[in-house]
Amino acid sequence: MAAIIQYQYLSFSDFLEHYEDNSDRKDLHAFNVEHPSPEARGNLASIWAIEQLEPQPRSLQEILSVLGPDCIQERVLTSKIPDYKHLEDYPKRGFSYSAARTDLIRRSLVKRNEDNKEL
């Protein structure tokens, strides 16, 4: 579980919140942490590879792209999300949001301020 906390850039309180949610707990136990390669990750185009994002991180990135670029409060992104048809791929549960956010952080598309819970 410590590897998931580190890999997902979670605070302990965020992790505990996910772990106490039954549906998120199943996702946590099924999650496989990738071990990063010690070599260089590639060039900028291969790291970003926006067109190769999975549906949930891509949907999150699309929402972020229309918001102001600095200090986006994560509560805006994780509050009750309506089931709009055009948001069907948006990560609506806590752990799926964390996984999507992690993918964007790993590709250097966003940076997270853990203390303020901002992107």
Q: What is the C-alpha to C-alpha distance for residues 89 and 116, in angstroms, rounded to an integer? A: 26
Question: pLDDT tens digits for 11-54?
Answer: 888 888 888 888 888 888 887 776 655 555 555 555 567 778 89
Model pTM above 0.75: no
Let me know if residue 63 belongs to a domain. Answer: yes
pLDDT for 44: 57
DSSP letter for each residue of 38-55:
SS----HHHHH-GGG--H
Say if residue 80's pLDDT is above 80: no
Let me know if residue 112 belongs to a domain. Answer: no
Grouping H, G, I as helix, E, B as strand and the rest as coil, residue 73 is strand
Residue % of the chain over a pLDDT of 90: 13
Q: Which of 68, 57, 61 is nearest to 98 (CA)?
A: 57
Let me know if residue 85 belongs to a domain. Answer: yes
pLDDT for 42: 58
Give the CA radius of gyration of the chain.
14
pLDDT for 100: 92
Q: How many CA atoms lie within 13 A of 26 on its CB side?
A: 3
| Domain limits for position 85 | 2-33+53-106
pLDDT for 101: 92
Judged on CB neighbours under 10 Å (0-12, 13-18, 19+), 108 is: exposed
Let me know if residue 118 belongs to a domain. Answer: no
Average pLDDT over residues 73-84: 79
**Amino acid in the structure at residue 18:** H
Domain count, the chain: 1
